[in-house]
Amino acid sequence: MAEETDSEEKTTYVRYPFVNQKISDLNSNMSVAIAGLIVSKDSEIISFIVEDDDGRVNVITNNMDSFNGLKEGQFVRVLGKTWGEGEDIELKSDIIQDFSGVDFELYKKLVL
């Protein structure tokens, strides 16, 4: 007969820090924080395009409540993981922050 033990296995998850990046500097498989203006939204696939001074990236989210609260022209910061290659880089969002009250020009000088 097999012996049962009372030991519990613990699963440890490692989350790498989000690195502030310009959209033009994104590569595949990075944990990044980008900031920019929402230029368009697509409710069919729950995605939106964020633009900074250097480029654009499609951001995909699975949080419909967060997505519904976003507006075109809104300044946001998105933390997430990139995937895809070259011009087809996309960002899978983990966190979407409303940065409407943040001075975009000052943010760029201090952070990027």
- Residue at 76 is within a domain: yes
Query: According to the model, what pLDDT value does residue 57 have?
Result: 98
Average confidence (pLDDT) per 10 residues, the chain, 112 residues: 62 86 94 97 97 95 95 98 91 97 91 80
> CATH number, domain at 70?
2.40.50.200
What is the residue type of 15?
A: R
- Residue at 13 is within a domain: no
Query: According to the model, what pLDDT value does residue 99 have?
Result: 97
Query: According to the model, what pLDDT value does residue 8 have?
Result: 75
Domain around 46: 19-111
Query: According to the model, what pLDDT value does residue 2 have?
Result: 53
Q: Structurally, how many domains does the chain consist of?
A: 1
| Angstrom distances, CA of residue 65 to CA of 44, 62, 109 | 14, 9, 31
| Tokens, residue 45 | 């696939």
